Structure 1
Amino acid sequence: MASATPESEDAAECGLEELDDIITQPAGGMTMLPNTAYDEVYDNLLVGDESDAAPTAWVTHILNAAHGVDIHHVNTNEDMYRKLKVTFKGIEAIDHMSFNLYPFFQESADFIEKALDNGGKVLVHCIQGVSRSATLAVAFLMLKRHMTVKDALRLVRSHREVCPNTGFQQQLIKLDSQLRLQRHDKLQTE
Protein backbone atom coordinates (compact mmCIF):
# COMPACT_ATOMS: atom_id res chain seq x y z
CA MET A 1 0.00 0.00 0.00
CA ALA A 2 1.46 3.35 -0.95
CA SER A 3 1.69 6.07 1.66
CA ALA A 4 -0.11 9.32 1.10
CA THR A 5 1.96 12.43 0.72
CA PRO A 6 1.95 14.85 3.64
CA GLU A 7 1.38 17.83 1.36
CA SER A 8 -2.23 18.88 1.21
CA GLU A 9 -4.02 20.71 -1.54
CA ASP A 10 -6.79 21.20 1.02
CA ALA A 11 -4.96 23.25 3.65
CA ALA A 12 -7.89 25.39 4.83
CA GLU A 13 -9.25 24.95 8.33
CA CYS A 14 -12.35 22.82 8.54
CA GLY A 15 -15.41 22.24 10.63
CA LEU A 16 -17.62 19.35 11.65
CA GLU A 17 -19.72 19.56 8.51
CA GLU A 18 -16.68 19.00 6.30
CA LEU A 19 -15.54 16.01 8.36
CA ASP A 20 -19.05 14.59 8.24
CA ASP A 21 -18.98 14.94 4.45
CA ILE A 22 -15.68 13.04 4.30
CA ILE A 23 -17.19 10.26 6.41
CA THR A 24 -20.55 9.96 4.64
CA GLN A 25 -19.89 11.05 1.02
CA PRO A 26 -18.46 7.71 -0.16
CA ALA A 27 -21.67 6.01 1.00
CA GLY A 28 -24.05 8.50 -0.57
CA GLY A 29 -24.53 10.57 2.58
CA MET A 30 -24.91 7.63 4.93
CA THR A 31 -22.82 6.41 7.83
CA MET A 32 -21.84 2.81 7.28
CA LEU A 33 -20.26 0.16 9.47
CA PRO A 34 -17.31 -1.83 8.15
CA ASN A 35 -17.88 -5.34 6.85
CA THR A 36 -14.38 -6.53 7.78
CA ALA A 37 -12.73 -7.13 11.15
CA TYR A 38 -9.82 -4.86 10.25
CA ASP A 39 -8.39 -2.88 7.35
CA GLU A 40 -4.96 -1.52 6.59
CA VAL A 41 -5.45 2.26 6.52
CA TYR A 42 -1.78 3.20 6.09
CA ASP A 43 1.37 1.18 5.52
CA ASN A 44 1.49 -1.42 8.32
CA LEU A 45 -1.23 0.39 10.30
CA LEU A 46 -4.54 -1.42 10.71
CA VAL A 47 -7.78 -0.24 12.27
CA GLY A 48 -10.17 -2.89 13.48
CA ASP A 49 -12.77 -4.19 15.85
CA GLU A 50 -12.61 -6.42 18.90
CA SER A 51 -13.15 -9.67 16.99
CA ASP A 52 -10.98 -12.74 17.25
CA ALA A 53 -10.19 -12.26 13.58
CA ALA A 54 -7.35 -9.91 14.52
CA PRO A 55 -4.20 -10.90 12.64
CA THR A 56 -2.09 -11.65 15.72
CA ALA A 57 0.06 -14.05 13.70
CA TRP A 58 1.71 -11.12 11.94
CA VAL A 59 0.81 -8.00 13.94
CA THR A 60 3.64 -6.94 16.24
CA HIS A 61 1.83 -4.22 18.21
CA ILE A 62 -1.74 -3.79 19.44
CA LEU A 63 -3.23 -0.53 20.66
CA ASN A 64 -6.57 -1.21 22.37
CA ALA A 65 -8.44 2.11 22.31
CA ALA A 66 -11.26 0.60 24.39
CA HIS A 67 -9.21 -1.01 27.17
CA GLY A 68 -11.32 -1.96 30.20
CA VAL A 69 -13.53 -4.64 31.68
CA ASP A 70 -17.12 -3.41 31.35
CA ILE A 71 -19.53 -3.88 28.45
CA HIS A 72 -18.31 -0.73 26.65
CA HIS A 73 -14.70 -1.87 26.62
CA VAL A 74 -12.49 -4.69 25.34
CA ASN A 75 -10.88 -6.68 28.12
CA THR A 76 -7.39 -7.44 26.80
CA ASN A 77 -3.99 -6.86 28.32
CA GLU A 78 -0.29 -7.40 27.72
CA ASP A 79 -0.32 -10.84 29.38
CA MET A 80 -2.66 -12.11 26.66
CA TYR A 81 -0.20 -11.20 23.92
CA ARG A 82 3.11 -11.95 25.62
CA LYS A 83 3.36 -15.51 24.25
CA LEU A 84 2.71 -14.16 20.77
CA LYS A 85 5.48 -11.58 21.25
CA VAL A 86 3.01 -8.77 20.54
CA THR A 87 3.57 -5.43 22.28
CA PHE A 88 0.36 -4.13 23.87
CA LYS A 89 -0.86 -0.71 24.92
CA GLY A 90 -4.29 0.00 26.34
CA ILE A 91 -6.17 3.31 26.39
CA GLU A 92 -9.23 3.34 28.65
CA ALA A 93 -11.41 5.44 26.38
CA ILE A 94 -15.18 5.66 26.24
CA ASP A 95 -16.90 6.21 22.90
CA HIS A 96 -18.85 9.22 24.11
CA MET A 97 -18.88 12.78 22.81
CA SER A 98 -17.84 14.14 26.21
CA PHE A 99 -14.83 11.82 26.61
CA ASN A 100 -11.54 13.67 26.22
CA LEU A 101 -9.42 11.46 23.97
CA TYR A 102 -7.12 14.39 23.11
CA PRO A 103 -4.61 13.71 25.95
CA PHE A 104 -3.97 10.26 24.44
CA PHE A 105 -3.21 11.48 20.90
CA GLN A 106 0.53 12.02 21.39
CA GLU A 107 1.26 8.85 23.39
CA SER A 108 -0.74 6.74 20.93
CA ALA A 109 1.02 8.34 17.96
CA ASP A 110 4.40 7.74 19.65
CA PHE A 111 3.50 4.08 20.25
CA ILE A 112 2.50 3.59 16.60
CA GLU A 113 5.52 5.50 15.28
CA LYS A 114 7.98 3.49 17.39
CA ALA A 115 6.44 0.24 16.17
CA LEU A 116 6.54 1.31 12.51
CA ASP A 117 10.10 2.63 12.82
CA ASN A 118 11.15 -0.81 14.04
CA GLY A 119 9.49 -2.60 11.11
CA GLY A 120 6.36 -3.50 13.06
CA LYS A 121 2.72 -3.84 12.07
CA VAL A 122 0.19 -2.15 14.34
CA LEU A 123 -3.46 -2.94 14.96
CA VAL A 124 -5.42 -0.12 16.59
CA HIS A 125 -8.79 -1.43 17.69
CA CYS A 126 -11.83 -0.68 19.80
CA ILE A 127 -15.21 -2.41 19.87
CA GLN A 128 -16.37 -1.74 16.29
CA GLY A 129 -13.24 -0.18 14.84
CA VAL A 130 -15.00 3.01 13.75
CA SER A 131 -14.69 5.74 16.39
CA ARG A 132 -12.00 5.47 19.09
CA SER A 133 -9.51 3.49 17.02
CA ALA A 134 -10.15 5.55 13.89
CA THR A 135 -9.64 8.77 15.85
CA LEU A 136 -6.26 7.59 17.15
CA ALA A 137 -5.21 6.50 13.65
CA VAL A 138 -6.16 9.92 12.24
CA ALA A 139 -4.31 11.68 15.08
CA PHE A 140 -1.20 9.58 14.30
CA LEU A 141 -1.30 10.61 10.65
CA MET A 142 -1.65 14.25 11.67
CA LEU A 143 1.11 14.20 14.29
CA LYS A 144 3.64 11.91 12.64
CA ARG A 145 2.88 12.15 8.92
CA HIS A 146 2.06 15.88 8.96
CA MET A 147 -1.36 15.51 7.36
CA THR A 148 -4.27 17.86 7.88
CA VAL A 149 -7.31 16.43 9.61
CA LYS A 150 -9.13 16.32 6.27
CA ASP A 151 -6.33 14.49 4.49
CA ALA A 152 -5.84 12.02 7.34
CA LEU A 153 -9.56 11.28 7.66
CA ARG A 154 -9.92 10.90 3.89
CA LEU A 155 -7.05 8.41 3.84
CA VAL A 156 -8.43 6.31 6.70
CA ARG A 157 -11.98 6.54 5.30
CA SER A 158 -10.78 5.44 1.86
CA HIS A 159 -9.76 2.09 3.38
CA ARG A 160 -12.35 1.56 6.12
CA GLU A 161 -15.87 2.67 7.01
CA VAL A 162 -15.24 4.89 10.04
CA CYS A 163 -17.23 7.42 12.00
CA PRO A 164 -15.50 9.11 14.95
CA ASN A 165 -18.13 10.58 17.24
CA THR A 166 -18.70 14.34 17.11
CA GLY A 167 -16.69 15.00 20.25
CA PHE A 168 -13.69 13.14 18.82
CA GLN A 169 -14.07 15.02 15.54
CA GLN A 170 -13.97 18.31 17.47
CA GLN A 171 -10.80 17.16 19.23
CA LEU A 172 -9.20 16.31 15.86
CA ILE A 173 -10.15 19.78 14.58
CA LYS A 174 -8.51 21.27 17.69
CA LEU A 175 -5.36 19.25 16.99
CA ASP A 176 -5.44 20.38 13.36
CA SER A 177 -5.63 24.04 14.44
CA GLN A 178 -2.75 23.62 16.88
CA LEU A 179 -0.56 21.85 14.31
CA ARG A 180 -1.41 24.50 11.73
CA LEU A 181 -0.36 27.23 14.19
CA GLN A 182 2.89 25.38 14.97
CA ARG A 183 3.70 25.10 11.25
CA HIS A 184 2.94 28.81 10.79
CA ASP A 185 5.13 29.77 13.76
CA LYS A 186 7.95 27.57 12.46
CA LEU A 187 7.78 29.23 9.03
CA GLN A 188 7.89 32.67 10.68
CA THR A 189 11.12 31.81 12.56
CA GLU A 190 12.92 30.32 9.56
Structure 2
Amino acid sequence: GAPLSIPQQPYLTGSQIKLEHVLDSCRMELNHVDEVWPNLYIGDILIAHDKEELRKLGITHVLNAAHSTWESKGDQAFYGQEIHYCGIAAEDSTNFNLREHFYPASDTIHLCFSFSGKILVHCVVGKSRSATLVLAYLMIYHHFSLTDAVQRVIQYRAISPNRGFLKQLQDLDVELRDRTNLCELL
Protein backbone atom coordinates (compact mmCIF):
# COMPACT_ATOMS: atom_id res chain seq x y z
CA GLY A 1 0.00 0.00 0.00
CA ALA A 2 0.86 3.69 -0.19
CA PRO A 3 2.93 5.08 2.70
CA LEU A 4 0.90 6.90 5.35
CA SER A 5 1.36 10.63 5.19
CA ILE A 6 1.85 12.34 8.53
CA PRO A 7 0.31 15.81 8.69
CA GLN A 8 3.01 18.42 9.23
CA GLN A 9 2.63 20.39 12.45
CA PRO A 10 4.30 23.78 12.52
CA TYR A 11 7.46 23.76 14.62
CA LEU A 12 6.73 25.23 18.05
CA THR A 13 9.13 27.62 19.73
CA GLY A 14 9.57 27.71 23.50
CA SER A 15 7.41 30.82 23.78
CA GLN A 16 4.64 29.14 21.74
CA ILE A 17 4.74 26.10 24.02
CA LYS A 18 4.50 28.40 27.09
CA LEU A 19 1.54 30.23 25.52
CA GLU A 20 -0.23 26.95 24.81
CA HIS A 21 0.30 25.93 28.47
CA VAL A 22 -1.23 29.25 29.59
CA LEU A 23 -4.20 28.68 27.24
CA ASP A 24 -4.57 25.08 28.43
CA SER A 25 -4.60 26.26 32.06
CA CYS A 26 -8.01 27.86 31.51
CA ARG A 27 -10.72 25.82 33.21
CA MET A 28 -13.65 27.97 32.10
CA GLU A 29 -16.73 26.39 30.55
CA LEU A 30 -17.31 27.61 27.01
CA ASN A 31 -20.40 29.85 27.06
CA HIS A 32 -22.26 31.39 24.13
CA VAL A 33 -20.96 34.83 25.16
CA ASP A 34 -18.61 36.30 27.76
CA GLU A 35 -17.61 39.88 28.58
CA VAL A 36 -13.79 39.78 28.50
CA TRP A 37 -13.13 43.53 28.80
CA PRO A 38 -15.58 46.29 29.74
CA ASN A 39 -18.25 46.37 26.98
CA LEU A 40 -16.26 43.88 24.85
CA TYR A 41 -17.80 40.44 24.40
CA ILE A 42 -16.54 37.30 22.67
CA GLY A 43 -19.23 34.93 21.49
CA ASP A 44 -20.31 32.22 19.12
CA ILE A 45 -22.64 32.05 16.14
CA LEU A 46 -25.69 31.21 18.29
CA ILE A 47 -25.50 34.42 20.33
CA ALA A 48 -24.72 36.40 17.17
CA HIS A 49 -27.97 35.19 15.60
CA ASP A 50 -30.05 35.87 18.75
CA LYS A 51 -31.04 39.49 18.27
CA GLU A 52 -33.23 39.48 21.39
CA GLU A 53 -30.32 38.36 23.59
CA LEU A 54 -28.01 40.94 21.96
CA ARG A 55 -30.61 43.61 22.74
CA LYS A 56 -30.70 42.47 26.39
CA LEU A 57 -26.89 42.69 26.57
CA GLY A 58 -27.01 46.18 25.05
CA ILE A 59 -24.82 45.21 22.07
CA THR A 60 -24.52 48.12 19.61
CA HIS A 61 -21.83 46.66 17.31
CA VAL A 62 -21.07 43.21 15.92
CA LEU A 63 -17.70 42.22 14.49
CA ASN A 64 -18.09 38.86 12.76
CA ALA A 65 -14.78 37.09 12.10
CA ALA A 66 -16.60 34.31 10.22
CA HIS A 67 -18.42 36.50 7.70
CA SER A 68 -19.66 34.61 4.63
CA THR A 69 -19.12 31.14 6.10
CA TRP A 70 -22.12 28.92 5.48
CA GLU A 71 -23.13 28.94 9.17
CA SER A 72 -23.20 32.73 9.41
CA LYS A 73 -26.22 34.66 8.24
CA GLY A 74 -25.05 37.90 9.82
CA ASP A 75 -24.77 41.04 7.72
CA GLN A 76 -26.01 44.61 8.06
CA ALA A 77 -29.43 43.72 6.62
CA PHE A 78 -29.85 40.97 9.24
CA TYR A 79 -29.12 43.38 12.12
CA GLY A 80 -31.04 46.34 10.70
CA GLN A 81 -30.65 49.83 12.14
CA GLU A 82 -30.10 48.84 15.78
CA ILE A 83 -26.66 47.24 15.44
CA HIS A 84 -23.62 48.32 13.41
CA TYR A 85 -22.16 45.32 11.60
CA CYS A 86 -18.64 44.63 10.40
CA GLY A 87 -17.71 41.34 8.76
CA ILE A 88 -14.32 39.72 8.14
CA ALA A 89 -14.32 36.60 5.98
CA ALA A 90 -11.66 34.71 7.94
CA GLU A 91 -11.00 30.99 7.90
CA ASP A 92 -10.00 29.16 11.09
CA SER A 93 -6.95 27.74 9.37
CA THR A 94 -3.32 27.91 10.48
CA ASN A 95 -2.46 29.17 6.98
CA PHE A 96 -5.00 32.02 6.95
CA ASN A 97 -3.48 35.51 7.29
CA LEU A 98 -5.65 37.04 10.01
CA ARG A 99 -2.87 39.50 10.81
CA GLU A 100 -3.91 41.82 7.96
CA HIS A 101 -7.16 42.33 9.90
CA PHE A 102 -5.57 43.07 13.31
CA TYR A 103 -5.46 46.87 12.92
CA PRO A 104 -8.80 47.35 11.08
CA ALA A 105 -10.59 45.08 13.61
CA SER A 106 -8.93 46.86 16.55
CA ASP A 107 -9.92 50.21 15.07
CA THR A 108 -13.53 48.96 14.73
CA ILE A 109 -13.58 47.90 18.40
CA HIS A 110 -12.00 51.19 19.51
CA LEU A 111 -14.46 53.21 17.40
CA CYS A 112 -17.38 51.39 19.03
CA PHE A 113 -16.10 52.48 22.45
CA SER A 114 -15.74 56.07 21.29
CA PHE A 115 -19.55 55.99 20.83
CA SER A 116 -19.99 54.42 24.32
CA GLY A 117 -21.10 51.23 22.60
CA LYS A 118 -20.87 47.54 23.41
CA ILE A 119 -19.37 45.17 20.88
CA LEU A 120 -19.72 41.45 20.26
CA VAL A 121 -16.75 39.91 18.46
CA HIS A 122 -17.71 36.46 17.26
CA CYS A 123 -16.87 33.62 14.92
CA VAL A 124 -18.51 30.18 14.82
CA VAL A 125 -17.44 28.79 18.22
CA GLY A 126 -15.94 31.98 19.68
CA LYS A 127 -12.51 30.73 20.62
CA SER A 128 -10.05 31.08 17.73
CA ARG A 129 -10.73 33.82 15.13
CA SER A 130 -12.71 36.15 17.40
CA ALA A 131 -10.36 35.59 20.35
CA THR A 132 -7.35 36.36 18.15
CA LEU A 133 -8.85 39.70 17.08
CA VAL A 134 -9.67 40.63 20.71
CA LEU A 135 -6.12 39.74 21.82
CA ALA A 136 -4.73 41.93 19.01
CA TYR A 137 -7.00 44.79 20.17
CA LEU A 138 -5.73 44.53 23.77
CA MET A 139 -2.15 44.53 22.48
CA ILE A 140 -2.57 47.43 20.05
CA TYR A 141 -4.80 49.77 22.09
CA HIS A 142 -3.98 48.78 25.67
CA HIS A 143 -0.30 47.88 25.24
CA PHE A 144 -0.67 44.39 26.70
CA SER A 145 2.00 41.83 25.88
CA LEU A 146 0.55 38.76 24.18
CA THR A 147 0.95 36.70 27.36
CA ASP A 148 -0.74 39.39 29.48
CA ALA A 149 -3.59 39.68 26.97
CA VAL A 150 -4.11 35.90 27.00
CA GLN A 151 -4.01 35.79 30.81
CA ARG A 152 -6.57 38.62 30.95
CA VAL A 153 -9.03 37.02 28.51
CA ILE A 154 -8.85 33.47 29.93
CA GLN A 155 -10.05 34.84 33.28
CA TYR A 156 -13.41 35.34 31.52
CA ARG A 157 -13.53 32.95 28.56
CA ALA A 158 -11.99 29.73 27.34
CA ILE A 159 -10.14 30.62 24.13
CA SER A 160 -7.95 28.63 21.80
CA PRO A 161 -6.46 30.55 18.85
CA ASN A 162 -5.03 28.13 16.31
CA ARG A 163 -1.23 27.87 16.11
CA GLY A 164 -1.03 29.98 12.96
CA PHE A 165 -2.94 32.79 14.67
CA LEU A 166 -0.74 32.49 17.79
CA LYS A 167 2.33 32.90 15.59
CA GLN A 168 0.79 36.00 13.96
CA LEU A 169 0.03 37.43 17.42
CA GLN A 170 3.62 36.73 18.50
CA ASP A 171 4.87 38.60 15.44
CA LEU A 172 2.59 41.52 16.40
CA ASP A 173 3.92 41.33 19.97
CA VAL A 174 7.51 41.64 18.73
CA GLU A 175 6.58 44.48 16.36
CA LEU A 176 4.78 46.44 19.11
CA ARG A 177 7.61 45.84 21.60
CA ASP A 178 10.21 46.97 19.03
CA ARG A 179 8.15 50.10 18.30
CA THR A 180 7.90 50.89 22.03
CA ASN A 181 11.65 50.40 22.49
CA LEU A 182 12.34 52.62 19.48
CA CYS A 183 10.08 55.37 20.88
CA GLU A 184 11.89 55.21 24.21
CA LEU A 185 15.20 55.67 22.41
CA LEU A 186 14.05 58.75 20.49
TM-score range, shorter chain: 0.7 to 0.9
Count residues with an aligned counterpart. 168
Instruction: State TM-score, norm by structure 2.
Output: 0.86
Q: Which of these two proteins has the greater Rg computed from alpha carbons?
A: 2
| Residue in structure 1 matched with residue 7 of structure 2 by the alignment | none
Query: Whole-Å Cα distance in 1 between the matches of residues 92 and 29 of structure 2?
Result: 15
Aligned AA for 1:80?
A: F
The structure in which a higher percent of residues are helix is 2
Pick the aligned partner of 1:145 from 142, 145, 150.
142
> Could you tell me whether the CA contact under 8 Å between 1:37 and 1:53 is conserved in 2?
no
What is the Cα deviation at residue 21 of structure 1?
1.3
What is the Cα deviation at residue 56 of structure 1?
2.0
Query: Whole-Å Cα distance in 2 between the matches of residues 17 and 161 of structure 1?
Result: 17
Query: Whole-Å Cα distance in 1 between the matches of residues 145 and 95 of structure 2?
Result: 23
Query: Whole-Å Cα distance in 2 between the matches of residues 159 and 60 of structure 1?
Result: 21
Pick the aligned partner of 1:45 from 40, 43, 53.
40
Gaps of 5+ in 2: 1-13
| Residue in structure 2 matched with residue 18 of structure 1 by the alignment | 18
Work out whether 1:133 is the aligned partner of 2:130. Answer: yes
| Residue in structure 1 matched with residue 11 of structure 2 by the alignment | none
Percent identity of equivalent pairs: 35
CA RMSD for the aligned pairs? 1.5
| Secondary structure of the corresponding residue to residue 103 of structure 2 | helix
- CA spacing shift, 1:56–1:141, aligned 2, 3 Å: same
What is the Cα deviation at residue 16 of structure 1?
0.8
What is the Cα deviation at residue 33 of structure 1?
6.1
Instruction: State TM-score, norm by structure 1.
Output: 0.84
> Could you tell me whether the CA contact under 8 Å between 2:23 and 2:159 is conserved in 1?
yes
Query: Whole-Å Cα distance in 2 between the matches of residues 49 and 117 of structure 1?
Result: 24
What is the Cα deviation at residue 69 of structure 1?
3.9
| Residue in structure 2 matched with residue 102 of structure 1 by the alignment | 99
Deviation digits for residues 25-78 of structure 1 (CA, Å, limit 9, x no counterpart): 133xxxx761x11000000000000004463201000000000143xx523101
> Could you tell me whether the CA contact under 8 Å between 2:69 and 2:89 is conserved in 1?
no
Aligned AA for 1:67?
A: H
Equivalent runs, 1:23-172 vs 2, <5 Å = 23-27=23-27, 34=30, 36-51=31-46, 52-53=49-50, 55-57=53-55, 58-70=58-70, 73-83=71-81, 85-172=82-169
Query: Whole-Å Cα distance in 2 between the matches of residues 43 and 23 of structure 1?
Result: 21
